Structures are given as C-alpha cells and as structure tokens.
Amino acid sequence: MQIYKLIPVFIIMSIFLGCSKLQKELPQPTSPGTVHNAAWNDTASADFHGKYLKAKNWKKDDCVQCHAVDFSGGTSRISCYDCHNSYPHKKGWIQSDNVFFHGVFLKNNNWDLMSCKICHGIGYDGGSITNVSCMTSGCHLDENQNKKSPEACNTCHGNFSSPENLVVSWAPPRGIDGSTDSTHRSVGAHQVHIATGKLGKNLKCGECHNVPANVFTNGHIDSDLPAEVVMNDTLSRLITANGTLIPNPSFNNSDLKCSNTYCHGNWKLRKAASTNQFGYADSIMVGANFSPKWVGGAVEAACGTCHALPPTGHIASSINACANCHSGVVNNAGVIIDKSKHINGKINVFGQEKWMN
C-alpha cells in the first residue's frame, strides 16, 4: 500500500529530471561567442555572419530559431537590433509611402549612411557582402536610368529623379521632410531664387548656405534642422555707395524674413560717382531695403517692393519709359526681358554694364 503512495512522487521526480536535462541541452543565452565562432561579427572574416547569410541566399531560417521571427531576441535573449539599426530590413523598406521606408529610417537616425556601406559597399554598389546594389531599377537611378549615388544632393532634397549633377534640382521642392508646398519653410522660394529666375539672375546655393563638399562635411547632416542661412556669398553682401554701405544680411528663423540684403534693395548710389548723372533727382539714389517673407509667395516679389518705381532719388519716370535707358533689360511694358541683367550687382544703362559701387 505504501508503494502506491510513492508512485506520484516518482512521476514528479521523473518530469523534473527530464526538464532539467532538456534545459541543459538548449543553447544558453550568454554571448554570441558561445554559439557562433569569434569571427561571427568580424566583417573582414570569411566567417562573418553576413557572408554566411549571403551563401544561404539571405534565408534567415537558422536565425529565427534562436532570435525569434522578428529578431528581437527569442530563446537566445539576444536581439539582432542590439547591433543592427535596420537589418534585417522590414517589409516596406524600399516603399516610399511605407512607415518602414529606409528614407524615414535614415532621417530618424541622423542620416547614418555609413551603416548602409557596411553591407552594400563603400560605393553602394553591392560590396563583397550583399552583392545588392542600391543603384538598381526602381531605386537610385535618375530619369535617364543613370546610376545616382545615395549621397547625391537631390537624394534627400530637391528633385530625386534628376541627374545628380543638375544643380538646380538640388533645391526644394522636395524638402527634407518631403514637403512640396511653397508655404512650407523647407520649400519656400527656393526655385524662384535658384532656377526660374523670376525677376533676376539665378542664384547659387552658396549665396545663402554653406555648401558642403560632401554629405559628411561638418555642419551638414550632423547639425539640427532647419538648414543654416548664412548669406556669406558676394551678392547679398554687395557693397555700394562707394564703399560706405556695407550690408549685414540676416535671416530670422521665427518670422522667416530676410533682411538687409543688396538683392532686396539695401543699396545706395551716389550721383557724384555716376557717369549718368542726368538720371538723378537727388545726390543719392536708394533701394527700399525690403524684408521679404520666405514663404510669402508672389506678393513678396512684386515689382516695386525692392525699390520704388522709379527708385527714390531717380528722376520721375513711368514704368513704360524704363526701356528708354535700360534697353535689353526691360521692355516698354515694364517687363523684365533679360533676367540675368537684373538684380545682378550691376548698373545697365544704354547697354553698358558696370558694377554698382
């Protein structure tokens, strides 16, 4: 009778011992080196896990056994994301309208393109690990199907489909956040200044920004948005009035207004220094020193905002008469016909150009 009472005890002990043996046989969650060899994380080694996966045509069945189907740790308790910010890539990685789109990931990780190079090679052409180029059909190619580096300026802002050496395509629209509306600060009047030449000569990017030599130049992707507006080039700071008026241009990040630039009328011309004194009604001719709003649209660029019509200090004249002296620049309807000769730092009278000074 006593033996029957011990049977449940024997059963419980058997289960316990069996489970203990099973537990000892499972891989224990310590460090990668206890399961994988020491070179498993060495990108230069033939035993690097990236090369192992490549040989298996990127099938990760072995990985999920220990690291779980989402690679978050599983029985190993070691997440692949402890080392990888983005790989194994999630579904939607190359779909621009997907929350897991790699452009979104890079933006949220301070444009860490160096992490891409680990697997895709220094030139993003596939490298020795993946043999998967970033510059394949539907990816980083321009409208002519030419390869375009992910480091091209118009990859992140401007027209993505344009050739990477087309400078006017570097400027928004599209802004860093994808904006295309000119009322958004990342878009604003970029194209009006750099591409369309609506009222004056096309400007260089460097007129307002420090243009980086490459994507990793200090002060580029390592600084916070919005982009710095420094206006260190020649036109915005053009000195006039025989060296007595030195503009100090600035951009206000709060009201988005540009101030004190030659381009918007911060200039003076002295009659005494002019070879065309007949055009002066006073000893000084001045611009309006207008402060346009970056997102203000066409109203900010209306004729007469940067200087009066005619400029203050100029002899009285109708806009239809401008062409009498400024032929080749404006027609007899007051329309600018050669934008390269307007807001270019020069005075153009009777077809003769000279620098304002």
263-285 pLDDT, tens per residue? 999 999 999 999 999 999 999 99
For residue 78 the two structure tokens come to 């070691």
Angstrom CA distances, 182 to 65, 256, 295, stand at 51, 13, 6
Please tell me the distance from the alpha carbon of residue 222 to that of residue 218, in angstroms, as a whole number. 7
Arithmetic mean of pLDDT, 92-105: 86
In which residue are the tokens 């393109």 written?
113
290 pLDDT tier (thresholds 50, 70, 90) = very high
pLDDT value for 87: 63
Side chain identity, residue 353: E
* Overall average pLDDT of the 76-90 stretch: 75
Q: How confident is the model at residue 16 (pLDDT cuts 50, 70, 90)?
A: very low
Q: What is the pLDDT of residue 5?
A: 56
Region of poorest pLDDT, from 91-100, 203-212, 233-242: 91-100
> Is 331 a domain residue?
yes
Query: Residue 85 above 50 pLDDT?
Result: yes
> Is the pLDDT at 248 greater than 60, yes or no?
yes
Task: Report the pLDDT value the prediction gives residue 17, as an integer from 0 to 100.
Answer: 46
pLDDT greater than 50 at residue 28: no
C-beta atoms surrounding 254 within 10 Å: 5
| pLDDT, tens digit, 9 for 90 and up, residues 48-80 | 888 888 788 777 788 888 988 878 888 988 888
Tell me the backbone φ, ψ of residue 64, rounded to 5 degrees: -70, -20
- Alpha helix (H) ranges present in 92-134? 102-108, 114-120
- Show Cβ contacts of residue 7 under 8 Å, excluding neighbours closer than 6 positions: none
Segment 121-147 mean pLDDT: 88
pLDDT of residue 22: 34
In a domain, 298, yes or no: yes
pLDDT at 325: 96
Q: Taking the mean position of all CA atoms in its chain, how far away is CA 213? A: 14
**Number of neighbouring beta carbons within 10 Å of residue 251:** 19
pTM of this prediction? 0.75
Q: How far apart are the first and last CA of the chain?
A: 119
- 15-24, 227-236, 274-283, 312-321: the lowest-pLDDT one: 15-24
> What are the φ and ψ backbone dihedral angles of 69, each rounded to 5 degrees?
-65, -25
Give the span between the Cα atoms of 244 and 247, in whole angstroms: 10
**What is the per-residue pLDDT for 188?**
96
Residue 30 included in any domain = no
> Which residue did the predictor score with more confidence, 93 or 182?
182
Separation CA 115–CA 87 (nearest Å) = 10
- The alpha helices in the chain, defined as continuous H runs, are 2-25, 32-35, 49-55, 61-67, 102-108, 114-120, 153-156, 190-191
Question: Could you report the per-residue pLDDT of 144-189, keeping only the tens digit for each?
Answer: 999 999 999 999 999 999 999 999 999 999 998 889 999 999 999 9
Structure tokens, 258: 């540009």
pLDDT over 80 at 197, yes or no: no
- Per cent of the chain over pLDDT 90 is 55
Total domain count for the chain?
1
Maximum Cα interatomic distance, the chain, rounded to a whole number of Å: 132
Residue 80 forms part of a structural domain: no
> Would 348 be classed as within a structural domain?
yes
pLDDT score, position 109: 86
Q: Give residue 312's domain range.
A: 250-355
67-96: average pLDDT: 80
In a domain, 231, yes or no: no
Instruction: Report residue 20's pLDDT band, with 50, 70 and 90 as the boundaries.
Output: very low
- State percent of the chain over pLDDT 70: 89
Q: How many CB atoms lie within 10 A of CB 347?
A: 18
Measured distance CA(343)–CA(265) in Å, rounded: 9
DSSP assignment of 54-67 = HHTTT--HHHHHHH
Q: Are 329 and 338 in contact (CB under 8 A)?
A: yes
